[in-house]
Amino acid sequence: MHPRFNHDLLVIGRQARGLSQVALARSADVTQGHLSKMENGLSEPSEEVLKRLADTLDFPESFFSQPDRVYGLPVSVHPMHRKKAQVGQRALERIHAELNIRLMHFKRLLQAIELTTELPMPQLDIDEYDEDAEKIAELVRRTWLLPRGPLQNLTECLERAGSLVVWCDFSGAAIDAVTLSVPAMPPCVFLNRDQPADRMRFSLAHELGHMVMHRIPTSEMELQANEFAAAFLMPAEDIRGSFRGRVTLPRLASLKRVWRVSIQSLVMRAKAIGAISANQSRYLWQQISLKKIRFREPPELDFAHEEPRLLPTILKLHLEQLGYSVAELATALHTQEPELRRMYGLLGNSLQDGHLRVVS
C-alpha cells in the first residue's frame, strides 16, 4: 500500500488527461470497480498499480501523494461573447484539473518568496452601494490613484494589487476567464490565451469586478461585473468627449486603440451613458453584423496583449537566483519536465524579465 495516497488527485490526474474511468481502467489494466473505489477513497493502490496509473497518466508517482485539497470551479465561470453557452462536461473537468494543478504549483513556488503588494484590493460589497457597479468602479480607480482617461495596462494593476494573472489554453472551451481565491494564496486570475487583447482586457476587468464586489454568488453578478468592467475601462466622464459629433464605425475603430477595448464595447458604452440614441446604437449594430465583425473584429485593429509579469518573475527567481534547473523545478512541483515547460513557456532556463516585486 502506498503511504499518504491522495485519492482526489487521482481524479484530478484522470480529468487532466481527458479520460473517463473506463478508459483509464482499461489503459492501466485495473478494473473500473477498483479504480472507482480508489477515486472515492475506499481503497488505495498497490505500488505496482500506482506505477501503472502514474505511467498511464504521465504524472510522477509523487504527484498522488501531495496533501493538497482540491477546489471546485467558481459560479462566475462565464462563456465567451458574454452570453450563455454550453461547455462540455469533459472540457470543464480538464479546466478544473488544470487550475487545481496550477494552484498546487503556485503554492510551492510561493513558499520560497515573499510577495510585496503595492496596491490594496478593495472589498466593496455591491449591496452596500445600491448595486451601483459604476460607483464602485470609480472608487477602485480612485483607490489605486489611476489617472483619468484610458487605462494603459490593467494586468499590471492587478499584479501590483497582489493577484497572479495567468494565461491558459482552457482545452478549447468557450470560457473567457476564471478566478480562484483560496486560503493562504493570492487571488489567481486564469485567462483564455486565445482571446484578442481587447476581449482579454474586458475579461480581466470583469474578474476584477467579481473580486471587489461579490462575496456570495447572485443571479445578477455577471451583469454587475460587466457593468463594472465597462465603467472601469471607460469612465463615463472621461470617455464622453470621445463620442461628440457623428459616431461611425471608422470613428469607433480609431478609438479602439486609444481606449484599448473592442468596437462593440465602445458602442455599448456610448449607449449606456447616453452619448448615442437607441436608433444610433441599432444602426451601428447593424453595420457590425453586415461587416461580419461581431465575433472577430478586423485583425488590423488589434493591439498588443498585456503579458503577465509576476508569475514569470517568480519562475525566473527560482531558475536564476535560487539555482533550480527546469528538471529540478519539475521534481519540486511533482510534474514532468516537458509539461512544466509547456505550461509556463520555459525555453531553456530563461524567461522574460518581469517587474521584480518578490523578495527571497
218-269 pLDDT, tens digit each: 999 999 999 999 999 999 999 999 999 999 999 999 999 999 999 999 999 9
Q: Is 300 exposed, middle or buried (0-12, 13-18, 19+ CB in 10 A)?
A: exposed
Mean pLDDT of 123-127: 97
Q: What are the contacts of 21-25 at 24+ separation with CB within 8 A?
A: 24/53, 24/56, 24/57
Q: What is the 3-state secondary structure (H, E, C) of 105-147?
A: HHHHHHCCCEECCCCCCCCCCHHHHCCCHHHHHHHHHHHCCCC
> Quick check: 164 pLDDT over 70?
yes
Beta bridge mates, 177: 78, 191
Residue-level length of the chain: 360
Confidence of residue 16 (pLDDT cuts 50, 70, 90): very high
Residue of higher predicted confidence among 78 and 328? 328
- Give the number of other CB atoms < 10 A from CB of residue 130: 7
- For residue 29, is pLDDT > 80? yes
Q: What is the pLDDT of residue 119?
A: 97
CATH 1.10.260.40 assigned to domain 1-67? The reply is: yes
Q: Is the pLDDT of residue 358 over 70?
A: no
